[in-house]
Each structure stands twice: as C-alpha cells, then as structure tokens.
Amino acid sequence: MFLKYSAAAVAALHALALAQSVDLAGNVGPLTSIEDKKAIKTCDIADYGGKANSDISAAINDAFAACKTGGVVVIPSGNYNLENWVDLKNGKAWALQLDGIITRTGTDGGNMIFIEHSSDFELFSTTAKGAVQGHGYEFHKDGSISGPRLLRMYKVSNFSVHDIALVDSPSFHFSLDTCDNGEVYNMAIRGGQHGGLDGIDVWSERIWIHDVMVTNKDECVTVKSPAKDILVENIYCNWSGGCAMGSLGQDVNVTDITYRNIYTVGSNQMYMIKSNGGSGQVSNVVLENFIGHSNAYSMNIEQYWESMDPVDGDGVQLSNIKINNWTGTAADGMQRGPLQIKCADGAPCTGVDVTDFNMWTDKGDTQFYSCRSAYTNLRRAEPLYCMNGGESKTEYAVTTRTVTSAPTGYEAPKLADDLEEDFGFTVSIPVPAMPTSFFPGSAPIKAVAGGS
C-alpha cells in the first residue's frame, strides 16, 4: 500500500521551505541599479580597442580599469575572441554587460572570466543572447578536461548574474566560491556528456538561484561545503548529471538549503547527497516539488558512494531532511529504485521525512525502495517507505521494500525543450536559445531579457 499523509503535514513542510527562503527571494543582489551605474560611466570595449573576431582581453581589462569603481563595461553584440583570460578584481558598484558572444581561443587552464574580491556587481545581457563559448570539445576530443572554467566568482558580495549562456566549457562552467548575497537567474548552460563539466557549483552563503537550464553529464546545480541559506528553484536539468549535494568530505558544514520546482529529464539523478566517510553535518534541507522523467536515479542519499575515495571519519551527519511532492518516472525502478536512502552506519541519518513521493518506473511493473541506517520523525506502524522510526538511532543493514503497483498521481507534465539525445563530447555545441519556461506551468520569476 502506498502511504499518504495529511494536508497539515504537507502544509508544515511547505511552511518550512518558505521560512528558509523568504529572506532570500527578492532580497539579495546588487545594491545599485544598472541605470545608476551607467549614469556614472559607460565603458564600451570598442572605445578601448575591442574589435569583432579578435582577442578582446586587453580591451576588457582597460575598460574595467576605467569603470571598476562605478560604471558599466559593455561588450556589444557581435562575435569576439578571448586569447588571454581576464581577472577582474577589487571592483565596486560596477557591471559587465555581455551582449556579444565571447569564444575561447586561448589554451590555458584557470578561469576565462574571473570576478574576485568585488561588491555590488552585475553580469548580464540586455538581449539574453550574450554568451561565452568555450569550445571544450577541442580539449575533450583528445581526452582532456584540464582546460579552463568559463566563469568563476570568488569573494563577491551583493551581486547578480543573469540572462546569459555558458556553452561547452573545457572544465566547470560556473563556480560560486565563498560569495554572499547573490542572485543567479535566466541562464542556459550547455556542456558535453562527460564527468567534470559541472553546471553551477556553489559553496557560499545567502544565494538565490532560479530559472536555469543545464545540459551536461555532471552536476546540474550543486551545493558544496561550506554553504548556508541557499535557495534553488525553477531548475531545468535537461539531459544532465542532475542536482546534488557534495561530494562531502571532512568538517562539512551545510545548513538551510532549499531546492524546489526542479525538473529533470534523461539525467543521472533528480537529487543526490553523496559522501563516503567524512565528518561534520548537513541540516535543514528541503527538497520539494520535483518532477522527473526517465532518470537513472531519482532521490538518492548515498553515503557509501563508490565513485569517491573513502574519507577519514565515521560519516557526515545528515539531519532534518524534508522530501515532499515528487512525481514522474525512473528509467528502471528495479535496477535503481527511485528512493534510496543509505546513510553512514557511524552517523545514522535523523529526521529524513518523506511525504507524497509518487514515482514510478518506465521499465517493468515493479520497483523498490532501499534504506540503511536512516530514521524518520514520521511515526507509522510499518517503516516509512523503508526507514525506521523510534528513538533508537543505531545502524542497520540495507532494508528493501518492493512495490508492485504504480502510486496514484505519479504522472507528470513535460517541457517543450526536452532533448531527445545529448550533444556528445567531441563535437561543437551550439549556443542555445533561452527557454520560455524552466519548470512546467511556471513562467520565469523575472522576465527573460529582450522578451525572449
């Protein structure tokens, strides 16, 4: 029998999600408007020697030097090259307007565009057609993923990044490292089908990420340690590795994380928390309103993750994990059950509460749930899906529950931009158009620039 829960229980979970996110949505981002920054100064790279179809690294650096203490650096529509990477540091109350397409022509590692030690910053396109094209396939066809990231931000506060595309990075696409009070939205990220090509990685504080589409074969939007107060919503993992947390190692400190309205198709997983040994804690996580179609894994907590070398420690302590309102299908529910919660024996999970988890399988008519050393606060006469309840929080071996009938309400809508196949790893990947929706039935929270 598939278990159902009261409206009050669902409402309580939703209230928790809102409580975590209410101070983020609409309350993080730049302190100064683009209009006010342009009123101070506009620094068009054309005025600093920047020309189409040529290296504009020197022009960007010179324009930034003129506008770094207040103003807008403009890269107008057109095609440009980047032979040398740009490190734009110590800026304040400035913006980078990317309306053109920058194509990598250099071969160094590192970061093509590196924003660091800055405040009150905005990276945006006025047309939603600005992009960075990494042509990572030129590295990948030779078996290398040691090329540059496309975009990295380090110790940046009060910022936003929006309405741009990041395409075919040789390495990670976008890293948010030790940043705070930032908003990322209306982005399309498209990479090759290989590990090590993460979409967005964030280890920061008070970050709101919404309305982002990612295609790759590694992380879609992933929280790493340390992180606090992160809201991720309206995410479109369109043939991706899927969203995740980790890999988690030693001295982990992750708290107050909400993912909601996450749509995942043809991906490795809908959500995964991954570790192998380690120490520290993850607490107060809400994973609600997930839709999936034909993903290998659905909800997967794996604290014995074989793809990660074991780390010293009894395990990362996971507590207060709320999983609510999941619908759709796994690719094969008997090969990889849609609900797997395998916690560290040395640090059993507590408060893993699952409600309205209505997933089914594309293949066959049977699926399973599996749990290990996992505990829920929801009391039931029989184990919740496969988790134990009660006050004892001792380790236990893998427990499996087999399900032979589809749950009511598992059917879920699809999006028009769902891919039917990936882009491979060794051929050029085109710059995508910005989707009109990142989650079924929802318009972007903020209108896409240029009316795209």
The pLDDT value given to residue 378: 86
pLDDT along the chain (452 residues), means of 10: 38 46 83 98 98 98 98 98 98 98 97 98 98 96 91 98 98 97 98 93 98 96 97 97 97 97 97 98 97 98 95 97 97 96 97 95 96 88 76 90 94 96 93 96 96 68
Q: What is the 3-state secondary structure (H, E, C) of the chain?
A: CCCCCCHHHHHHHHHHHHHHHCCCCCCCCCCCCHHHHHHHCEEEHHHHCCCCCCECHHHHHHHHHHHCCCEEEEECCCEEEECCCEEEECCEEEEEEECCEEEECCCCCCEEEEEEEEEEEEEECCCCCEEEECCCHHHHCCCCCCCCEEEEEEEEEEEEEEEEEEECCCCCCEEEEEEEEEEEEEEEEECCCCCCCCCEEEEEEEEEEEEEEEECCCEEEEECCCEEEEEEEEEEEECCCEEEEEEECCCEEEEEEEEEEEEEECCCCCEEEEEEECCEEEEEEEEEEEEEEEECCCEEEECECCCCCCECCCCCEEEEEEEEEEEEEECCCCCCCCEEEECCCCCCEEEEEEEEEEEEECCCCCEEEEEECEECCCCCCCCECCEECCCCCCCCCCEEEEECCCCCCCCCCCCCCCCCCCCCCCCCCCCCCCCCCCECCECCCCCCHHHC
pLDDT value of residue 382: 61
In the residue annotation, 218 being an active-site residue is answered as yes
pLDDT of amino acid 11: 43
pLDDT of residue 379: 72
Catalytic residue among 293, 356, 417, 422: 293
Model pLDDT, residue 380: 65
Query: Which pLDDT belongs to residue 451?
Result: 80
Query: What's the pLDDT score for residue 174?
Result: 98
The pLDDT value given to residue 392: 78
Domains and CATH numbers, the chain: 1-27+240-418 (2.160.20.10), 31-215 (2.160.20.10)
| Residue 65, beta-bridge partner list | none
Identify whether 201 is a catalytic site residue: no
* Per-residue pLDDT at 7: 42
> Rounded to whole angstroms, how far apart are CA atoms 84 and 165?
20
Query: So what's the pLDDT on residue 143?
Result: 86
| Whole-prediction pTM | 0.94
Q: What is the pLDDT of residue 389?
A: 79
Of 99, 163, 201, 218, the active-site residue reads: 218
Phi, psi of 415 (to 5 degrees): -105, 150
